[in-house]
Each structure stands twice: as structure tokens, then as C-alpha cells.
A and B are shown apart, each in its own frame.
Chain A
């Protein structure tokens, strides 16, 4: 038994390290400061990832601003307020199912809802709010813009965010809620002063892991029409965008070997970003997660 488990672990580690080593060998030569600060180019030697890097930052920031509060609020409703009912189990079942739905399906939904706005208003004649100089510049329908990308990713990570927050809230001992109630707290005061602070480190960990999922998504953004070659960084919510996974997909699919090299370099950048996210999650877990009960 021990031997087979060990063998399984070894295989997994070997495959992973083979992958990492091959990427490192292929990609490191293309990594340089100018690679991080240049736009895409027809010549592989001059191409860089500034646009997808900044695109990823914008899209993930929008995704976080939407998905984290909505996810936490949903979890609070389901865990602290909703009484046991058919409706609650239905919602719960749906959330668990949605977390397993392929992300490309969310892309199709987002294409209809965000990019085309259900066809209610044509993309050629949009409703405009603000001026293009302001970063809050907004048009409805969104079209394949940064905001559409961020909202799409928030759909993808919302179920994960909700489930992580629910588990965090559930792990807060019932005795703390009872103590607060017995002191004359209202239900909301219990949540705000006791349950949420106690669950926050775990919720934060869940949020960061959700974000690291979002930053690696390519499929739903491909469906909504994320651009493969962009020659500017986003300046407002309506800017065109591309993200790292899309850029990697673009370069890796080209026949020339030089582009495979810079694809590998972009993968390295992507992995470093992911690793940074996960390290932050671990640090938060270690630093903030005090024992809730002695």
C-alpha cells in the first residue's frame, strides 16, 4: 500500500518537474526586462507581454471587486440567515454544481449577457457614461472590453468564493455565536462583530485562491472575444484587453519555434504570478489564523 502510494506521488512529481524543467530550458533565454515591458510584435525577438500582463491585472482586479463581496454576502446569507428550506437546498445544490461547470460555459453566458447585453441595445449604438479619458468610462453593451472580461471571470470564481466563505463561516464555533446572542446582539451584530472577524483569515485564503484560478482562465475570455494581439495597456473599463493565458495560447499555436520560446517565457511569468498569489494565501493563513478556542 505504502509502495503504491509512494509510486503515485513520485509519478505526479516527476511529470510536474519534467514540465517545469522543459519550460525553464525553453523559456529562460527569452526572459528579460524588455520582454516584460514591450508590446506584442510580428518578430518574436521583439515581442513582449506588457499588454497581457496589465490586462490580467485589470481583469483580475474587476473580478475581485465583484466576486469577493458578492461571494461573502451570499455565504453569510446561506450560513447565518437562511433557515433550512427547499429553496436553500436548491440554491446550495446549484452552487456546488456551478463550481464544476466548465468555464467555457460561463463564457457563452457572458457573451450574451455582458458583451451583447441580450441584444437589447446594438453594439453600434451604445449607451455611454462618462468620457473615454476617465477610467470609469462605460458603454452598454460592454462589448469585448476589460469590464466584460472581469465580470466573466467573476462568474467563474463566484461558486468557489461562496463555497470557501461558507466553509470558513461554518468553522466558527457555534459557542461564539451563542455567547454574542446571549449578550443581546442582533443577528447582524453577531455576524459583524464575531462570526465574520473569526472567519476572515480563512475567507481571505479562499479569495486569493479564487483569484489565482481567475488569473489562469483562458477559455471564457476567448469566447467573449478577448483579443489575441493588443498593442496598448487598458486605460478605462471599455479598453480592449488580452490576458497572459490568451497570449500564451496565441504564441504556442504558431508554427515558428521562436514563438514557442517566448510562449514558454510567458508561462514562467504566469507561474511566478500564481506562486506569488498562493504564497500570500499561505502567509495570511499562518499569520492570522489564530486558534478560535483553546
Chain B
């Protein structure tokens, strides 16, 4: 089967418009960095049940985009189409167009293994492998055989530093990852995803199984990672969305209701349903 390779480094082009990524995201529309992801009339089904209805959404590079909405609104489904994890679910299909740096993700000939190497994913519950901390982080690089042994040690350290876990685990890299706390495990999962060198990080409610303190450390990490990666985060927690994201997309019953800069969407929503949801009147 013919496979379409993804372009190697599109990240450099997307940084031509500099943004001060640590300040509040009040960049005017015209100055926003180019989109990393573009979706056109994306609809998705599980068997006969339509879960997404004609979504049009652009996600900017090197920013954090939050998907919010009540349970069952399709936000996780959408996230799982961005790395084609839905391929593993029998009966899941999608129409329309998603492109990541110009490469069509719904193409049947797309090399999904290559795609998933470029799109990291962090799951709801921390899911480290029952292996050592080192082996967890080294799993992806070893799989793709992209590093020699000395490089591998360096890469593991870099990834663990990037996920703010290095100082806590540097003396016990060979002990089991299952001995870490929930928050540490989740940061390990982030390190594991980073080690493969992705362009895009998908996070599916990464803090929902964590205590407030671990949640705070993950949120801080997300804000730091934004300088290097494009991040899409699904969250049920409105405060979290407002704390970590630059843009927010609100979904309701499989439709994209409203999207925009996070502070605007939370303070002056255009749609009534968005206002009801973000003020906690339903959902």
C-alpha cells in the first residue's frame, strides 16, 4: 500500500509569527500563528450513531487549545480522530477533512504508525507500562530505532526534564514505574509521549484521575510545553480550560457551538448555550 509521509519539520514555518506565549492570549486574529490543524465539515460515526456533525475548526500551532462540553458531546471522539486512534474501534468512521500541517489525516493510504509517532497522546488515567521508568520513556525511541544507546540515555533525561519529573526520579530510573504516584505517573506518560518527538500533543482529560496538587503540576507543565508543542486538551474542568488554554472550543451534542480566544469565550460568549455552560448552569 502506498503511504503518504508527513512533512518533517513544519514547526519552523509556523513560528514566523512570534507570540509571547507566557502572557494572556489576547493576540488579535490577524496576528495569530498559522494553523497546525484544519478541520473542514468533519463528521464522525460509531456504527450508525453520528457523534460529530460537520465540524469546522482551526487549531493554531504552538498554542493550547481546550475542547470543553458536557459528557457525550463528541470532544474525545474528535481528539481521537487527530491520531486515528478511532481506527481500533470497529464501526468508527469519519467524513470531511482534517489536515495536520497540510497532510490529510483521513486519507486511507496514510501511514497511521508514522502519524502516531508525530502526534503524542496522554490518556485520562495514567497508563505507564509495567516496566522501569527508563524503559517507559525509552519505549517509543526504541520502537522506532531512532537513537543509539548513549543518545537514548540523554533523550530519556531530556524528556523527563521536559515533563518536570527528572529531579524526582533521577536516582531510581530502573525501578518500576508503577511505584510512582498518580501525578508522577501522568508526567511520566507525558515524558513518554515527548520522547518520540511529536509535533502535536493530545491530552484526553489528563487530570481527571489526579488530586488537586498533581493537577496543578500538570497544568504548569502544559503551560511550559506550549512553547515547543501544539497542544489539544479535552477537559471537563472549566477552570482548567481557562487556566491553561489560549483558545477554547465549546462542543454540544456533536456540534461545535463556539470557538475563540479563551478569555473572550469565558467572559463574553457569543452564544447563549456557551454562556450557560461556562457559568455552570448546565453540564
Contact = CB atoms under 8 A, between A and B. Distances in A.
Partners in one complex: yes
Interface string A176-198: 10111111111001000110011
Contacts of A173: 127
Nearest to B117: A184
Nearest to A83: B90
Contacts of B140: 183-184
B235 interface: no
Interface string B118-138: 001101011111100000000
Most B CB within 10 A of own CB, among A173, A178, A179, A184:
A184
A134 interface: no
Interface of B: 83, 85, 88, 90, 113-117, 120-121, 123, 125-130, 139-140, 143-144, 176, 178, 180, 182, 185, 189, 192-193, 196
A256 interface: no
A291 B180 CA distance: 13
A178 B83 CA distance: 12
Interface in A79-94: 83-84
A294 B116 CA distance: 26
Contacts of B176: 290
A194 B127 contact: no
A292 B113 contact: no
Nearest to B195: A183
Contacts of A180: 129, 139
Contacts of A294: 126, 178, 180, 182, 185
Interface of A: 83-84, 173, 175-176, 178-186, 189, 193-194, 197-198, 290-294
A142 B35 CA distance: 70
B123 A184 contact: no
Contacts of B130: 176, 197-198, 290-292
Contacts of B178: 290-291, 293-294
Could you say which of B114, B125, B129 has the most chain A C-beta atoms within 10 Å of its C-beta? B129
Contacts of B83: 182
Contacts of A290: 130, 176, 178
26 contacts: A83-B90, A175-B123, A175-B127, A176-B130, A178-B85, A178-B123, A178-B127, A179-B127, A180-B139, A181-B88, A182-B83, A182-B116, A182-B121, A182-B123, A183-B139, A183-B192, A184-B113, A184-B114, A184-B115, A184-B196, A197-B130, A290-B176, A291-B178, A292-B130, A294-B126, A294-B182
A283 B180 CA distance: 26
B193 A183 contact: yes
Nearest to B182: A294
A173 B129 CA distance: 10
A176 B125 CA distance: 11
A179 B176 CA distance: 17
B90 A84 contact: yes
B274 to A, nearest CB: 30
Contacts of B123: 175, 178-179, 182
A84 B91 CA distance: 11
A194 B128 CA distance: 11
B151 to A, nearest CB: 18
Q: Which of A84, A292, A294 has the largest number of chain B CB atoms within 10 A?
A: A294
Given A183-B196, A194-B129, 17 more contacts: A175-B123, A175-B125, A178-B88, A179-B127, A179-B192, A181-B88, A182-B121, A183-B117, A184-B114, A184-B116, A185-B143, A186-B113, A193-B139, A197-B130, A198-B130, A290-B176, A293-B125
A184 B195 CA distance: 12
Nearest to A184: B117
Contacts of A183: 116-117, 120, 139-140, 143, 192-193, 196
Nearest to B116: A184
B120 A182 contact: yes
Contacts of A292: 130
B90 A185 contact: no
Contacts of A291: 130, 178
A85 B39 CA distance: 34
Residue of A180, A183, A291 with most partner-chain B CB within 10 A: A183
Given A290-B130, A291-B178, A293-B127, A184 B88 contact: no
Nearest to B121: A182
A294 B181 CA distance: 9
A107 B176 CA distance: 47
Nearest to B122: A182
B161 to A, nearest CB: 19
A-B CB proximity, top 4 nearest: A184-B117, A182-B121, A175-B127, A184-B116
Contacts of B139: 180, 183, 193
Contacts of A84: 90
Contacts of B192: 179, 183
A175 B126 CA distance: 9
B209 to A, nearest CB: 11
A186 B130 CA distance: 19
